Amino acid sequence: MHRNVKEILYTQEEITQKCKELAKQIMNDYHDKNLLMVGLLKGSVPFLAELSKFVNLDVTFDYMDVSSYEGVESKAITIKKDLDQEVKGKDILLVEDILDTGKTLTTVKAMLLERGAASVEIVTMLDKKEGRTYPIEAKYVGFDIPNAFVVGFGLDFDEKYRNLPYVGILKEECYL
């Protein structure tokens, strides 16, 4: 375990097992649809890679990088990298590492629907329901977690720890 991690919440094996379960549900719901999986950079990359291995459908992929300003009470987000393709008529599954306040995904979802996506749903590896301030839910949730700051499997602190093969709670002395 990394010296700055206090506790491991989910191991690589548990995450892989969860990805298999989520992929089954996704295949069930999307087998007759035009599925486009959209990863939100950068945190979703390891989860998207693991999950998509088990999604046995003709799925296409794209990526978006958006940032929202902390502490500002507005839905405004900046698009740092937009999708490469048109979304009109596509069934989009947004892939996130963690759903917290819901601000990012609320804005992205509204934007993609406005562009003519046939549907927009969310799959998130982790759900911090206590943190929610926007009325949005993920259709597929890996794990519900308490309100702690977690790192690993894509999640960073100061751009570090994304490569940890597990999700763990960061020691408080690292960020206080």
Tell me, yes or no, if 158 is annotated catalytic.
no
Q: Are 122 and 139 in contact (CB under 8 A)?
A: yes
Relative orientation angle of helices 12-30 and 45-52, to the nearest 10 degrees: 60
- Does residue number 39 form part of the binding site for ligand 5GP (CB under 6 A)? no
Among 39, 46, 102, 168, binds ligand 5GP (CB under 6 A): 102
- Does residue number 91 form part of the binding site for ligand 5GP (CB under 6 A)? no
Among 119, 149, 171, 174, binds ligand 5GP (CB under 6 A): 149
Q: How far is the CB of 104 from ligand 5GP (least distance, A)?
A: 3
- Does residue number 4 form part of the binding site for ligand 5GP (CB under 6 A)? no
Tokens of 95: 């892939």
Among 94, 104, 109, 164, binds ligand 5GP (CB under 6 A): 104
- Does residue number 98 form part of the binding site for ligand 5GP (CB under 6 A)? yes
Q: How far is the CB of 157 from ligand 5GP (least distance, A)?
A: 6
- Does residue number 142 form part of the binding site for ligand 5GP (CB under 6 A)? no
Q: How far is the CB of 28 from ligand 5GP (least distance, A)?
A: 26
Catalytic residue among 62, 100, 127, 156: 100
- Does residue number 101 form part of the binding site for ligand 5GP (CB under 6 A)? yes
Among 117, 151, 164, 167, binds ligand 5GP (CB under 6 A): 151
The residue among 31, 52, 150 whose CA lies nearest residue 95 is: 52
**Three-class HEC string of the chain:** CCCCEEEEEECHHHHHHHHHHHHHHHHHHHCCCCEEEEEECCCCHHHHHHHHCCCCCCCEEEEEEEEECCCCCCCCEEEEECCCCCCCCCEEEEEEEEECCCHHHHHHHHHHHHCCCCEEEEEEEEECHHHCCCCCCCCEEEEECCCCCEEECCECECCECCCCCCEEEECHHHCC
Would you tell me which residues interact with ligand 5GP (CB under 6 A)? 43, 68, 96-104, 128, 149-151, 155-157
Catalytic residues: 100
